Structure 1
Amino acid sequence: MNERMNTTEIFDGVRFPGFMHTPESLQAACTFQFQDTDILLVTFPKSGTTWMQQVLSLIFCEGHLWPIHHLPNWARMPWMEQTSFSSLLPQLNTSWPRLLTSHLYAKVLAPALMKSKPKVVYMARNPKDVLVSFYHFHRIAGFLPNPSSFEDFVDEFLEGTGFFGSWFDHVKGWLGLQKDLDLLFVTYEELHKEPRFTIQKLSEFLGHPLGPEEEDVILEHCSFSFMSQSNMVNYSLLSKEIIDHSQGKFLRKGVVGNWREHFTPDLNKKFNAVYEAKMGDSGLCLPWTMD
C-alpha cells in the first residue's frame, strides 16, 4: 500500500489527494513551459475528463488506432499536476501536439499559460451530475475518503471544502479567462446530445479538420459502450487498492440527469439556492437547467 494513500496536499487553499500530488508536482505545473502547439484539457473532476481525453486522442491519431488500444488515457494525456507527469511527458507521441490534462484552477495555471499560446479546451458538466459522479467515485477510490452520507457530501460540495475545492470557483475562474486565452468551452451535455457536431467544433478549434469517415471512427471509439469495455479507458488496469471495481465502476453510467435519482426535494432546493447565489450574476451562459 502506498504510504501516501491517505495523505492530503493543500495547495493554494485547495485539497488534493496526496497519493498522486506532492507540493513539488503541484508547483511544477504552475511553472510549466507551455509550447504554442500544446493542447490542454481542463476540467473539474467528474465532468467528462476521460471522455474528452478519448475524443482528443482520436482527433489526432487520424485513424491510426494503436494508441487508443495500447496506451491508457493518462499516458496519452497526462495530468500536469500529478507526480507521474515528469516521467510521462517525455514519452508523449512527438507526431502529435502535446495533449495535456489538468484539474487545477485558472488562477494558478493562467500565468504559465499566458506566456505562450496553447489551446485550452475547458469542459464542464451540470454540477448536480458532477456531484453524484464524484460521490460514487469517492466510494471506489482508495485515495479518497469514504463519504459519511450523501447529504454531508452535498454540503461539502456546496461549501467547496472537499477534494479539488469549489466547482463554482473552478468554472467561473476558467470561463472568466475566455478573452485572455485561446479557450473553447465544451459541455458534457452537448457532447452527449450532439456528439458529431461537438467533435466538428473541437476539430475546427484545434485546426485539425476531419472527414466524415474519421468522424465515424471517433464516434465509435468514444462511445460509452466502447470506453466502458476498454481497459485503456475504464481504469481497470489500476490495482484494487487504488480503484476498487468491486464497489462500483469507474465509468458508471455516462448519462445526463442521473442526479434526479439521488436528490431529495429538500436537497434540490438547498442546492439551487446556493447555485443561484454563486452563479446567478456570473453572466455565464450555461446549458443546463437546475430543475
Structure 2
Amino acid sequence: MDPPADEVKITDAILEVDGCLFPADIILREGLAYTKNFPVREDDVFIVTYPKSGTTWMQEILSLIMNDVDISKVESVPNRNRAPWLELATAPVYLDGRESPRLATTHVYATFAPTQIMQGKGKVVYVYRNPKDTLISFYHFHNMAKFLSTPESFESFVSDFMNEKLSFGSWFEHIKTWMDVRDKAKLMFIAYEDLHKDLAGSVTHIATFLGKKLDAEKLKVLVDHCSFSSMKNNNMVNYSEVPRTYFDRGQKFMRKGTVGDWKTMFTVAMNEEFDAFVREKMKGYELDDGWTSDTK
C-alpha cells in the first residue's frame, strides 16, 4: 500500500559531494559513507552501472546465476531487495545480516565505492551502454522519477548530460573511474549491446567470471526468464510495486529495452556534436572489446 500523500514528500533536491550530484531525497551523506566503508566479503558480487545502462536486467541475471537458476528464489522478492542499492538508507537492513554470497548494486563512481573492492575483495560486474541510448533512457526516467528534476527540453537535457549536471555525475567520469581500477579490483566489463545481441553467450561469460557453470537447460531457463518481454510483465522486476510517491505511474519503468533508440530523438547535428564530444572525453580509454567512441 502506498503511504499517505502527506506522509512522504519526494522532491528533486540535489546533494553535491566531491563534485558529484546525487538525488538528495533518496541518497544521504550517511549512505555514501556506508558505501565507502562497506565491509566486503570475498564472495560478494557487485553490479555497477551508470543509470539506465541495464541495471535491472543484470540484477535479474545475477540473482539467477548465484542461485543456480532456481526460479523460486526470484518469484516473490523484488530484485531491488535481492540486489540492494549500497548508497540507499535501506542497504544495512538488507545487507548487513544477509548470508553469503551477497549481491549488491550501485551507481557510484569507483571513488565512492567500497574501499575493499580496490583491495581485490568481492567481484564487480560493470555494465556499460552506448552513452546516447543511456541518455535517451535517462531522459525518459527523469520524466517519471519524482526524485529527479523534470527536463526543460530534450536539448537542455543533452547539454546537462554532456556538462556533468545530472544526478550520479558524468557518464564519462563514471566509466573512467572504474576503468582506472581494473588492475586492483576483480572487475568484468560487459556491454548492454552484447547482452542484447547474445544473451546466452553473455550469461555464460558472466557465470564463468563468477566461477559458476550452467548446463544447457538452466541456461535456457535463465535466458527465457530474462527476456525483456518477460521482465516487463514481471512485478518482481518492473518496479510496479514501488509507491507512486516515487514514480509517475503514467509511464512505464521498463520502456523499450532496445539498441539504437537514440536515433528517434537525436538530430544529425546533435549526433555529430555528441560523437565528437565522446571521442574527446574517452581519449586514452579503451575497453578490451575495442569499444570507446563507437556510438553508431
Larger relative helix fraction: 1
Q: What is the TM-score with the length of structure 2 in the denominator?
A: 0.93
- Residue deviations 1:5-25, cap 9 Å, x none? 332221221111122211111
- Residue deviations 1:250-276, cap 9 Å, x none? 110010000000101111122112111
Aligned to 1:52: 58
List alignment gaps of at least 5 residues for structure 2: none
CA contact (8 A) 1:67 1:76 kept: no
Aligned to 1:13: 19
Aligned to 2:74: 68
- Residue deviations 1:45-73, cap 9 Å, x none? 00000000000001122232223211111
Instruction: Give the drift of 1:238.
Output: 1.1
Aligned to 1:290: 295
Work out the CA distance in 1 between the residues paired with 2:21 and 2:115: 21
Aligned to 2:154: 150
CA contact (8 A) 1:235 1:250 kept: yes
Amino acid at match of 1:60: M
Does residue 264 of structure 2 align to residue 261 of structure 1? yes
Instruction: Give the drift of 1:286.
Output: 1.3
Matched length:
288
CA RMSD of aligned residues (A): 1.5
Work out the CA distance in 2 between the residues paired with 1:227 and 1:287: 29
Aligned to 2:254: 251
Aligned to 2:9: 3
Identity %: 40
CA contact (8 A) 1:4 1:18 kept: no
Amino acid at match of 1:127: P
Aligned to 1:188: 192
SS of alignment partner, residue 27 of structure 1: helix
CA contact (8 A) 1:44 1:164 kept: yes
Work out the CA distance in 2 between the residues paired with 1:83 and 1:61: 26
Aligned to 2:117: 113
The 5 Å alignment of 1:18-29 reads 18-29=24-35
CA contact (8 A) 2:117 2:123 kept: no
List alignment gaps of at least 5 residues for structure 1: none
Aligned to 2:135: 131
Call closer, same or farther: CA 1:112–1:119 in 2, change over 3 Å: same
Does residue 185 of structure 2 align to residue 175 of structure 1? no
Instruction: Give the drift of 1:117.
Output: 1.7
SS of alignment partner, residue 64 of structure 2: helix
